[in-house]
Amino acid sequence: MNCPKCSAEMGLVRYGTHKVQRCSQCQGLWFKTADLAILRKDDWMANYILDKGKAREGKKLDRAEATCPECGSAMKRESDKRQPHIFYDACPQGHGTFLDAGEFTDLVRETIWDKFKPVRS
């Protein structure tokens, strides 16, 4: 499988029974939809093990176009419902979600600040 953002080879990373693809170059992460829903609730360890890239590097690719590595559809840029400052790319057919390096850590580490921040319209 190749990275939807930078086209480099992705490698399988195991976390418990979950399998996540991580890009060898930009360190972005590809999650199957169901896995992301579960892993984002796993506060500390999942992001520590999976999200190895630098957020600064991930940000460079944040706005890059991406296509689903499974079906080739153009992915939709979506902002997270709970943390609207985070934008990730999701397959319109529901295959999965691509998070740039650092975004998964941000998603998991929901801070008190995020919880009380007023929602921007």
Q: Which CB atom, from 3 or from 108, has the smaller least distance to Zn ion?
A: 3
Residues in region 9-38 near Zn ion by CB under 5 A? 23, 25-26, 28
Binding mask 42-81 for Zn ion (x = CB under 5 A): --------------------------x-xx----------
Q: Which CB atom, from 42 or from 52, has the smaller least distance to Zn ion?
A: 52
Cα separation, 111 vs 121, whole angstroms: 20
H or E, element range at 32: strand 29-32
Which of 39, 46, 91, 101 contacts Zn ion by CB under 5 A? 91
Q: Which CB atom, from 26 or from 39, has the smaller least distance to Zn ion?
A: 26
Cα separation, 53 vs 114, whole angstroms: 22
H or E, element range at 20: strand 18-23
Q: Is 6 in the site for Zn ion (CB under 5 A)?
A: yes
Q: CA 81, 21, 92, 8 torsion: positive or negative?
A: positive
Q: Which two tokens stand for residue 96?
A: 């999965």
Q: Is 101 in the site for Zn ion (CB under 5 A)?
A: no
H or E, element range at 11: strand 10-15
Residues that bind Zn ion (CB under 5 A): 3, 5-6, 8, 23, 25-26, 28, 68, 70-71, 91, 93, 95
